[in-house]
Amino acid sequence: MMGSLFPLLLPLSLLFLGHLVNPWQCPDEPRSSSLDHNVQYDLPNYVAPKHIQDLISKDGQEPLVFMAITNHLQVLHGSDLRILQSVTTGPTNSSECSRCSQCSMGSARPDQPEDTESQVLVLDPEEDILYSCGCSLRGLCFLHQLIGAKISDSKCLFDEQENFHLLCRDCVSSPLGTLLTVVTRGYTAYFYLASSVVSRMAESYSPVSVSVRRLLSTEDGFADGFHSLMVFPQFSDSYPIRYLHTFRTEDFVYFLTVQLEELGGTAYHSRVVRLSAMEEEMRR
Ligand SMILES: *[C@@H]1O[C@H](CO)[C@@H](O)[C@H](O)[C@H]1NC(C)=O
């Protein structure tokens, strides 16, 4: 055992000594004579009117950038950042928000007008479809059909007959943060969702912590009886879970979280939650 340690120790101590004698320094870079400081760079730029809440880009013949800011969804050209389209997403009582008034929510519609702060902006992995979810209108989502460089039609993913105060299957996003990965199997899209939830939300029209929801082919909401996980209500305030990032591999969908190491503790852990991308039941 001893014998095998020495060869390891020796190079280490040599390295250390060498370091003391001759501290390593960054070599001086000669000033490049080929750099022309008089060139004026004309970079494409775009100044958002409010802070950018979500951003996603789409490659293709015409590259596009979709950007969500409070009460607006903008489509920019991917190379020169020209605004191609601006869609009003709020306030929910504004006459300019035709998408807001198109959503029939029945008694689920909130009494007060709300601003729409974006929570989710995700492209369908296969179709020319963009999904957006905000925290207004009980956290419902919109499906935007893309034709060329334009949002041609938007559908409200909410069925007024199927959503209730205590059980709202189309209430997706939380104002405290929601992540979405869309998985398609066959011709069906599944929403893999994770939301931060606290008790005051859990009392009405609450999203759940983690769920897998099947989008109905009628494009007016999600199928009933989806599998989900929820932090026990008595712990939802004392055991906050923040979802930071989501991604998918061939077989799995992942969520990166920050959560307390233990109930009542002060140390936080980062954890990776993994769900099967192949089944809608949350068995593993
Ligand atoms: C929307 O509601 C706000 C707040 O109640 C109000 O100030 C505004 O005038 C309303 N807008 C419309 C178009 O009704």
DSSP state of 96: T
Asked whether residue 25 is assigned to any structural domain, the reply reads no
- Number of Cβ within a 10 Å radius of residue 64: 22
DSSP string, 122-154: EE-SSSSEEEEEESSGGG-EEEEEEETTEEEEE
pLDDT tens by residue, 250-265? 999 999 999 999 888 8
Q: 115 alpha carbon to ligand 1 midpoint, in Å?
A: 11
d(CA 275, CA 244): 16
110 lines ligand 1 (CB under 6 A): no
228 lines ligand 1 (CB under 6 A): no
The residue assigned the tokens 């320094």 is 25
pLDDT tens by residue, 260-281? 998 888 999 999 999 999 998 9
Tell me, what CATH number does 167's domain have?
Answer: 2.130.10.10
Asked whether residue 206 is assigned to any structural domain, the reply reads yes
Q: Is it the case that residue 21 has pLDDT exceeding 80?
A: no
Q: Is it the case that residue 10 has pLDDT exceeding 50?
A: no
94 lines ligand 1 (CB under 6 A): yes
d(CA 10, CA 215): 63
Asked whether residue 121 is assigned to any structural domain, the reply reads yes
pLDDT at position 41, please? 85
Asked whether residue 161 is assigned to any structural domain, the reply reads yes
Report how far apart, in Å, the C-alpha atoms of 92 and of each of 49, 136, 139, 155 are.
19, 8, 12, 15
SS3 58: strand
d(CA 13, CA 5): 13
DSSP state of 193: E
Atom of ligand 1 lying closest to residue 95 CA = 13
pLDDT tens by residue, 182-235? 999 999 999 999 999 999 887 889 999 999 999 999 999 999 999 999 988 889
pLDDT at position 206, please? 92
Here the tokens at position 61 are: 């013949």
Q: 15 alpha carbon to ligand 1 midpoint, in Å?
A: 71
| Tally of domains within the chain | 1
Q: Give the list of residues 6+ apart from residue 271 with CB closer than 8 angstroms, or none.
A: 256, 257, 258, 259
Atom of ligand 1 lying closest to residue 113 CA = 2
pLDDT at position 16, please? 45
Here the tokens at position 240 are: 């906050």
SS3 21: helix
d(CA 76, CA 261): 42
204 lines ligand 1 (CB under 6 A): no
CB 212 within 8 A of CB 274: no
Atom of ligand 1 lying closest to residue 91 CA = 1
Q: Domain of 264?
A: 49-100+113-276
DSSP state of 27: P
Atom of ligand 1 lying closest to residue 112 CA = 5
Asked whether residue 66 is assigned to any structural domain, the reply reads yes
Asked whether residue 2 is assigned to any structural domain, the reply reads no
Report how far apart, in Å, the C-alpha atoms of 137 and of each of 91, 121, 241, 243, 247 are.
10, 16, 23, 22, 27
Q: Among 114, 55, 46, 106, which Cα is nearest to 82's?
A: 46
pLDDT tens by residue, 116-153? 999 999 999 999 999 999 999 999 999 999 999 999 99
184 lines ligand 1 (CB under 6 A): no
Asked whether residue 6 is assigned to any structural domain, the reply reads no
Q: Is it the case that residue 30 has pLDDT exceeding 90?
A: no
pLDDT tens by residue, 71-93? 999 999 999 999 999 999 999 99
93 lines ligand 1 (CB under 6 A): yes
Q: Among 182, 180, 190, which Cα is nearest to 280's?
A: 190
CB 97 within 8 A of CB 86: no
Asked whether residue 19 is assigned to any structural domain, the reply reads no
